[in-house]
Every structure is written in structure tokens, then in C-alpha cells.
Structure 1
């Protein structure tokens, strides 16, 4: 909806114009009313007004003076003048300030409708043109940011066609992420906050989304970012700000600085904004190598009885004070080494039986799935200890086949009872998931299929006794439901139990 301001010292005229526009354009406008120029100017400074209808002759501040004052504002509405005087001088003054139309009192309904239609169409066209231009600007800048081989000459040529050419005397790039914002277009949401609270003109602040969904801001004043932090309605916001650059040729570098600062929130928890100067010493240069030997020790301990030692070594490796001192690139290198040396190796030994572990493995595989460092540490420790327990169980099962032999014997002795995987895993004192995995490895079948095979093999023996009825055989081998017995038998043998039994009758007679 558009905001429309009606300024007139006569209350009935204000209400009358509002009523006529409301009837002709339902749900198109929200209305604001003012009785003189001073009231209107206050509203214009605090609200984004799209269209203003104003009388000329008013006390305190008349319409012409109001239009003159509007020229000083960064946000100017489209203006339609209203007057009860058919005076050419007023019309000339209105034209001078690019007023859209000039309506005489009493206002004609059709003329009012035509004027509103005209102004609305222009606003819609301007808005679409601005959207297209903003989209083009965003695409071009993301091309610069993503292109690893782009030259500074090419950057300068592209920038000359974009609004960032205005920032050539010095600018900052900021990157912002809103972890739980409900705003679909966060760039517009941020721009709206800046427009309402920041002293900088809107044209001096460029906002758009990068490929990762971060809001990128380019501005000439670093105070913009402080104002943004002070007025954001959400506290779970992180901002990274580049150093000041004086050449548009360095826009890609400034963006990379901003993203590096933004990502540094991961190892500097509790901060809303990080300036590049605070982390610049870790941006370039050699990276401290991660403690490979310590990680190998942890990997070797997985599956042993050294639970407490695993925790101690892991917490030593993930010491936040050490990581903060070495910087973000060290954290990323450490994370890659943890994935490669600990998680990948443990997962290879485990296989892919556990959906729970797969989900955790996918999440921990990227540190930027987590809002903060301690969230990552908590999840990583849980995953490593879970892998540790699984591998302990696997080692136990592989080295002690008696568990599986005991399980198989139990199944053969109790196949005719109400038997399931949980009952058998409890009997041999193994974790349900581990037992399921190892049973399949050991027998080549899952538990349900294995039990079916045993029951049907026994049923085939019993069916040779022609004195037993079909349902009796089914009950003996563990199927209380005759239909279920027949279905499983046919599934495995291709014929029904009755057909199988009749086959023996034919053999006897022959």
C-alpha cells in the first residue's frame, strides 16, 4: 500500500478527499492528514510519504512554502496542489517545483480519479525501474565478488555503470546476517531501518544480497553500521565491516574483508559487530598448522576404553583462547583436519547404517551450520563420543563372534515365539542399532527375512506330516494368523502351504 498525505486547513475538505479516493481506490492507500504546512512537514520528515495533496492557502505555512521545504528532504513525495483560486501565478510556482497536477476547488471526482491514476502509474513504473536497476546492480557486484580472476581494470569498468561509482572518495563494505529474521527480503528490511534512523541520505547506502544470503552494505560513512546495530529489533544479528577503501578498484577486496570479519563472529562469541582492523592480522599470511598428532591420537582412541581421555584431548584441541589467538583461518584448517582425521576415519569403520549419525555427520561437516563456536564444540563432542561408542561395539562384535553365535542359537531355539530384533539384542546385551548392523553383516540378511526363512524351513518339514492341518503348522512355527503364514510361505516358496503338502500326496500315490 502507498502512503497518501492530505494537507488542508478545512477538516471537511480533508475528509472529503480521503473518502473519494478510498471509494475509487480501495485498499491502495493508507492516509495521513494535516491541517497546515508545518504539521505536514513534520510527518514528511518521519514517514515515507508517496503522494501528497496540499492546499495552497493555509495558516502557519502555506502550500507553496511547504513544497519549497520538501525540496530539502531526501525523500520527496509526488505532489498535487489544491486551490480555490484559479490563479496562474500559483500554477507557475507549482510547475517550478515539478508538481504533478493542479486541482481547483470544489474538486471534481473524475478529475481527482484521473490524477490519482496518473500518479499511481508513475509510482509503479518508477518502482519497477528501480527494482530492475537494483537487481542489475546486485548481479554485477556478485559477479565481481565471485569471479576469482577478475582484474581491477575490469572491476573499474563495471563499477562505472553502477551506483558504487559515487563511493570513489572512500567507502566501507559491511556484511550482515540475521539468524532468525522473518523478513523475506532482508536487504530491503535493513535499508528501511537505515532510512528511518540514519542521517546518511539513502542514495549513499547500497544494500543487496550476496550468493550466501548475507546482506551486503556499501556506504561512505562507518557510522551507518553503529546506527544499524543500535536500532535493529533483533539481537541475534552479526555484522562484519571492512576497512576503509578509497578506490572502487578495491571493492572485491573490501567485500572479502567484510565477509572475513563476519565469519570471525564464530570464534569471537558475544559480539554484534566486528571491524576488519580487529582481525586483519589473520587475513593474510601463513596459517598456524593444526595439531595433527593430537588429532591422530583422538582418532586412535575411538573404539577403545579411553572415554575420558578423548574428551580431555578434544577440549585441548578446541581451546577457544588458542583458536582466537590464531584466527579464523586456523579454525577452518582445524575443522578440515578434524573432519579428515577423526570423523571420516571413524565413519569408514562404522559404515552407513545409522541415520542418526549420518544427520549429525552432515551438520558437523560445516562449521558455518552453527551460530557460535560453542554450539559447534558441543555437537562435535557428542558426535565423536557417539562414534566412539559405536566403534567400541563394532570392535567387540567383530572380535567376539560368540555374541552372534549366541544370537543365532537363540533364534533357532525360539523361532516359534513372539520374536523380534529388540528381544534378541537384549538377550545378547548389545545395542539395538549395532546388533541390527552386525546381524546383517554376519548372516547376509536382515533379521525379519532370516526369521521368516527359519520358520518356513521348519514348516516344510512339518507339512510332510499329513495329519497336521495347515493352520496348525503355521501356529507351531510362530504364525498365529493363517493368512499371514500362507502369504509368507508363498513369498519364499512360490506356492501355498496347501499346494506344497498336496505335492507329497501325489508322490505317495505315485
Structure 2
């Protein structure tokens, strides 16, 4: 709201103007009065006054001297001048000094209301334009900082100029990511703006800068403030949020590397849902080398199609046990999730013709970070496994005459890495060679040789993508007699060499 000052050396005029203004449909916060320019100048120094109505000719300091002094001191004040008929030269000088309105004595009520209204409207318009320009400039600066943080190149001049905008912050800062702890399908609006308001309340405008909105809030914050202060403030506002916070950084040049480190912390926060704030200390010493537990996964999937749903749940809990996951870099968990989903896909491909309109929702399992935490992901994974188990069980109950075929398929999946042919498998299930061949193609939808090839190549793709075994070693591990026959089969199905496939998967992982 606006503060106003009325200046006139005659008390009755001051009081008359004050009485008229009090009846106008304008809202003023405070209304001050002064008898001369010196008194008025002191009031302008002591109070945030935006509008002044002043007589021109007064003792000690007249209206012109007051306006000149206010201008010299960069006071943001709008002046309306009041003068008599013989004072036109004074009025002209006042307008040159920036007066926004001019009134003749005796002042008429309607004229005064009109001038004051115009001046107030002009001030509001200036404020709106200034705010709009400031917001656009801030948004442009934030977008430039965001693209720089995410790896775009900017020259040294831009970096120096940006640092000068807030030298206190960029001298020593941390990057902070706030992720609201929400559950899948949880109703209610996001508290992103609420978290931002809390952060600015803790660090102040000079100690906090929002770099990114969206699913996550990323801030640059004053490194001298302990992270526990922000945690406490969020809890006081009843905002459940997970924080990831980097070590102190210095200079804008550190921003891109700091952002990469922040996203690493954010990804690892999924492995530590009990920690409200994760810092570099929490992920120091995590193992960077591992082998995925394929044998445990095979054992788990061997339970598919049985009544052992409890063992399936137990197997998932064992493979994805938090103490195991927290030993390794989060990439281990990502690869483990991907390997499990690929096995689900493999089993679903076989059962899909018998599922009717039912289907598994495997797309929901492709990205761990779509979930609030690892526990939610494991729960969703277990749900899909149990659904697959039920589909397989129903299928086996409906097609009991094909139990021998199921055993043959199980035998193939267990022995694909050995020399294997149709005769060996038909003998294993004690079926006539020709009968078994027809039964297999009718129920599986492809011949034995094609199915065995696909099983072997599925295993090969996984080994090429997730291990460092040489191509010749992979050849032997998936049951091919020689390197040449393996690469020929791989090229026919995939349209590329095994080495090209491995390089493609490495590039995909690097992008992620």
C-alpha cells in the first residue's frame, strides 16, 4: 500500500487536503504532513513514502529544492505540486524535475481526486512492468544456469558476470535436491512450491537460488548453513521430503560436476529410504565391481507355474535384500532390475498365446526411479511375478496333456549351454521323436531348433550387455560349437554382430 506526504506551510490547507484525500476511494497505508521542505525531507529519509503533494513556495526549503534534493538522493517518490496563478515559472521548473501532477490553488476536490488517481495508476503500471521485466530476467538467468549445470558450454565472460550477480552464494554453496516422499496414486497437490518457500525461509534470498522445478526441486544453497536446519524446517511445515546434498562447492565452474554428483546421490537415495538426507559420506566405499546373481534368478523363475508363491516372494526378498543392494553402486540395482524384467519378458512370450485378454504390466517395471523408493519397486515386481506364476499355473492345469512339453522346455532352459538336439530332449521326456516335434511346434509356435536358438541368443544378449566376457567365451557359455556359427545366428536374428550389440548397449547405459 502507498504512503503519502502532504506539505504546506499553512496548517488549514494541510488539514483541508488531508480531509479531502481521506474521503477518496484510494487505500493509503499512512498519511504524513509537513510544514516545509526540511521537515518533509527528514520524513522521506525516515519512512518509505511513495507519493508527495507539496506547495511550491515555502520557507526554509521550498518545493523545488525538496524535489531536487530527493532526486539527488535517488528517492523513488512521485510529486504532485500545488501553486498559485502567479507561480507558473515555478510550476514549469517542477515539471522539469519530474512532477507527475499540477494543481492550482484553491485546490478543488474533483481535480485533486483525478490527479491522485492518475498518479497512483501510473505507479501501479510501472510496478507491474518492473516486476514483469525482473521476473523475465530471473527466468532467463535460471534457464541459462540450468543448461550450464546440465552440461551446456558457456564462455568465461558469462560465468564471471553470473557469479557477480550473487558472489556470496557462488563463493561457497551446496547443491540440494528435494524429492517429496509420495506414494503411487497418492492424491493431493505437489508441495514443490512449499518446499521452495521453506528453503528460502532458511537460507534467505541471497543464500538460496532455485535452479530447477518439476518432479524434483534443485537448489543452490549457502554451504555455511547446516543441512539439519533445512530438514527441521521441512518437518515443522509437515512436508515429507528426501534430501540429497553435495559437499561444499566453490565457484560456478564447479556447477556441472556438482550436478552430476547430486544426481548420483539422488539415485542412491532409493537404496536408503530410511535416510532423510543423503550426502557423499553415505555412498563412499560402495563396491564398483560385481556379478549379477543369475543362478539365484534362474532358481527363482523355476518356481513359476507352481503353488509356491511363498517361495517366489522369499526369492525376490533374498535377491533384492537391502544389505546386498547397499554394498554396491546403484548401477548394480539397475542392472538387476533390468535382468529380472528381461526374464519376465521371456516367460511372458511363451505364455502370452494362452493369456487371452490378460497381460502383465512390464512397462511399469522398466524404471526404478518412477517409484518413491526401492521397496515400492520390489513390491510391484513381486506382484507381476505372482501374476505370471498364476498364469503359468492356470495354463498347466488347463493343458495337463502338455506336461511333458513343459518338462522339455524346462530341460532346454537348464541345458541350453550344452550340446542339445531334438532327439536328446524327446528322449528326456520319453516321447516319440516325430510326435514330440509336432507337439512342440503346435504348442510353442515355433520349431525346436528355432526355439533353442532364441533361448541361447536371449542368454547371449544378456551376457553381452551385462558382463565383460569375451565373445568366444559367450559362444561356449550359450552352447554354440564355434564362434562362426554363433555370430552367424546372432547376425541373422539381431541384424548386427555381437560386438556391435555390446557397444550399442554400452552407449545406451551411458545415456541413462
Matched residue, 1:326: 328
CA contact (8 A) 1:295 1:338 kept: yes
Report the Cα offset of residue 217 of structure 1: 0.8
Distance 1:261 1:138 in 2: 22
Aligned to 2:382: 381
Give the structure 1 partner of residue 231 of structure 2: 229
* 8 Å contact from structure 1 (residues 83, 103) kept in 2: yes
Specify every segment of 5 or more residues in structure 1 that has no aligned partner in the other structure, as ranges.
Answer: 23-30, 35-53, 71-76, 403-440, 445-510
Cα deviations across residues 101-160 of structure 1 (Å, max 9, x unaligned)?
A: 13579893223222222222222222222232233233323333444xx56xx4756534
1:316 deviates by 0.9
Question: 1:243·1:277 contact (CA, 8 Å) conserved in 2?
Answer: no
Measure, in 2, the Cα distance between the counterparts of 1:103 and 1:67.
Answer: 15
Change in Cα spacing, 1:244 to 1:91, as seen in structure 2 (3 Å) is same
Partners of 1:186 and 1:329 in 2: how far apart? 28
Q: 1:389 to 1:182 in 2, by over 3 A?
A: closer
Give the distance between the partners of 1:257 and 1:18, measured in 2 at CA.
62
Inter-CA distance 266–110: structure 2 relative to 1 (3 Å threshold): same
1:270 to 266, 271, 274: 274
Kept in 1: contact 2:244–2:277 (CA 8 A): yes
What is the aligned partner in structure 2 of residue 339 from structure 1? 341
Map 1:60-71 to 2 at 5 A. Answer: 68=45
Partner of 2:26: helix, strand, or coil?
A: helix
Q: 2:261 aligns with which of 254, 257, 272?
A: 257
* Contact residue 173 and residue 258 of structure 1 kept, 8 A: yes
Give me the whole-angstrom Cα distance separating, in 2, the residues matched to 1:224 and 1:120.
Answer: 40
Gap change, CA 1:64 and 1:205, over 3 Å in 2: farther
Separation of aligned partners in 1, 2:66 and 2:277: 52
Distance 1:63 1:7 in 2: 11
Q: Are 2:54 and 2:79, in contact at CA under 8 Å, matched by a contact in 1? A: no
Partner of 1:99: 76
Post-superposition offset of 1:203: 3.9
Distance, in Å, in 2 between the alignment partners of 1:281 and 1:256 is 18
Q: How does 1:81-480 map to 2 (within 5 A)?
A: 81-82=51-52, 87-88=62-63, 90-95=66-71, 96-103=73-80, 108-147=112-151, 154=154, 156=156, 158-160=158-160, 162=162, 166=167, 167-179=169-181, 186=192, 189-195=194-200, 197-198=201-202, 200=204, 202-209=205-212, 213-223=215-225, 226-232=228-234, 233-282=237-286, 286-341=288-343, 343-351=344-352, 353=355, 357-359=359-361, 361-400=362-401
Match of 1:80 among 50, 74, 94: 50
Contact 1:193-1:231 within 8 A present in 2 as well: yes
Runs of 5+ unmatched residues, structure 2:
7-14, 57-61, 83-106, 404-441, 446-512
Structure 1 residue matching 2:25: 3-state secondary structure: helix
Q: Helix, strand or coil: the match of 1:378?
A: helix
Q: Secondary structure at the match of 1:120?
A: helix
CA distance in 2 between counterparts of 1:306 and 1:208 reads 50
Q: Does the Cα contact within 8 Å between 2:313 and 2:382 map onto a contact in 1?
A: yes
Give distance in 2, aligned partners of 1:128 and 1:259. Answer: 33
Aligned CA-pair RMSD: 4.1
Distance 1:296 1:225 in 2: 44
Residue 114 to residue 83, structure 1, CA distance change in 2 (3 Å) = closer
Report the Cα offset of residue 390 of structure 1: 0.9
Q: Is 2:25 the counterpart of 1:20?
A: yes
Tell me the CA shift for residue 240 of structure 1. Answer: 1.2
Change (3 A) 1:64 1:369: farther
What's the counterpart of residue 430 of structure 2?
none
- For residues 45 and 357 of structure 2, the distance between their equivalents in structure 1, rounded to whole angstroms, comes to 69
The residue matched to 1:351 in structure 2 has which SS? Answer: helix
The question of whether the paired residues in 2 share the 8 Å contact of 1:55 and 1:81 is answered with: no
Provide the C-alpha distance between the structure 2 equivalents of 1:14 and 1:193, rounded to a whole number of angstroms.
44
**Aligned-residue offset at 1:366:** 1.9
SS at match of 1:229: helix
Aligned length: 351
2:423 aligns to what? none
CA distance, structure 1, for counterparts of residue 179 and residue 80 of structure 2: 48
